[in-house]
Amino acid sequence: MNTRVLKINSVSQQKDILTAAQLLKNGALVALPTETVYGLGANALDEEAVKSIFAAKGRPQDNPLIVHISEFDEIYNLVEEVPPSAKSLAVKYWPGPMTLILKKSKLVPDVVSAGLDTVAVRLPNHEVTRAIIKAAGVPVAAPSANLSGSPSPTTAQSVFEDMNGKIPLIVDGGACRIGVESTVISLTGEKPSILRPGGVTPEQISEVLGDVAIDDAVFHNISSSRKVASPGMKYKHYAPATKVVIVKGDREKYYDFLEKQSGNFGALCFEEDASKVNCKYVSYGKESNSLSQSNRLFNALREVDSLGVDVVFARYPFEDGMGLAVLNRLLRSAAFEVIEVE
């Protein structure tokens, strides 16, 4: 299959928007830009189309997909009920990097929810993609547009690397502003629970809902046999071919640690560390700016393989705010291997 890349910078490109929408309507896969990462979209109500997402990514069948909508009212078709908590969060953070898990309606096919009785819904903050969903007239199921296990794509070029020859169209809407995926919040239990940290921080969720839980799988490796709230969290993720090991400690301790290493290693560090590390390195953002880190992390993980080293030692990010999302992705890319040097 020939994969076309189409630049759409504005909703005034009506013809191009209709091209993408028509493909979705016809059951084809289209990669779409969002403010978090690029998604691999299909008509969520078309079982065959949704199945082809799993095939293109090599995604395990038991990992459910997020359904994207173009305006709030479209949620009513997808869920059994919209609780007040969902409405309050939506008013504050939609369109935006937040996904809500609610009881699903009968309209949502089982392939989308991987057999669960819940569905994940998101209203993304990218006007081109919202216009495409609106023109398609159907909700759009979209996981991140990477091959399963690889870092999520934050540019059309990264999507092309993973999806060339597998899908007919990639919509290039520029680099993703946030760079890590949305915050996934379950509203189906007694207490709201963050299943995956992202662009909307735990503090911001608490501002609206009060007490929120953070699922265990955010920090710990969950064995694949255990039943988890969010099936996606049990898989190894975001991993470059090169081994990643995280080093927890302040910057001086980190430099000392690197000095003591032998063999063919590199660093996955912050920009400020660049002149201090005596080895090949890739940097991922500024030390005290979580947004700059989330912006860079997935590209940095893709670049790590070109260093030609056996292992990279990564600096441990701050856990506050957006930092929790950065830490969660880094932990998963390192298969949770952390060395403490404090």
Binding site for Mg ion (CB under 5 A): 144
Give the residue at shortest CB distance from Mg ion.
144
- The structure tokens listed for 197 are 């940290």
Q: Give the CA radius of gyration of the chain.
A: 20
* Interface pick for ligand TXA out of 30, 123, 132, 184 (rule CB under 6 A): 184
Asked whether position 294 contacts ligand TXA by CB under 6 A, the answer is no
* Interface pick for ligand TXA out of 52, 70, 118, 290 (rule CB under 6 A): 118
Part in contact with ligand TXA (CB under 6 A); list of ranges 13-21, 214-222, 225-233, 246-254: 225-233
- Cβ 161 to ligand TXA, closest distance in Å? 17
Whether the Cβ atoms of residue 118 and residue 102 lie closer than 8 Å to each other: yes
Asked whether position 142 contacts ligand TXA by CB under 6 A, the answer is yes
Residue where the block lists tokens 């990477």: 146
Asked whether position 37 contacts ligand TXA by CB under 6 A, the answer is yes
Asked whether position 39 contacts ligand TXA by CB under 6 A, the answer is yes
Asked whether position 99 contacts ligand TXA by CB under 6 A, the answer is yes
Asked whether position 86 contacts ligand TXA by CB under 6 A, the answer is no
Whether the Cβ atoms of residue 16 and residue 131 lie closer than 8 Å to each other: no
Q: Report the interhelical angle of 323-333 vs 290-304 (nearest 10°).
A: 20
Task: Indicate which of Mg ion, ligand TXA, none lies near residue 333 (CB less than 5 to 8 Å, by partner kind).
Answer: none
- Cβ 233 to ligand TXA, closest distance in Å? 6
Asked whether position 36 contacts ligand TXA by CB under 6 A, the answer is yes
Positive or negative, the CA dihedral 216, 338, 333, 60 is negative
Using CB under 6 A as the binding criterion, the count of chain residues that bind ligand TXA stands at 30
Binding mask 52-71 for ligand TXA (x = CB under 6 A): -----------xxxx-----
Q: Give the interface with ligand TXA as residue ranges (CB under 6 A).
A: 34, 36-37, 39, 63-66, 99, 101, 113, 116, 118-120, 122, 124, 142-144, 181-182, 184, 195-196, 229-233
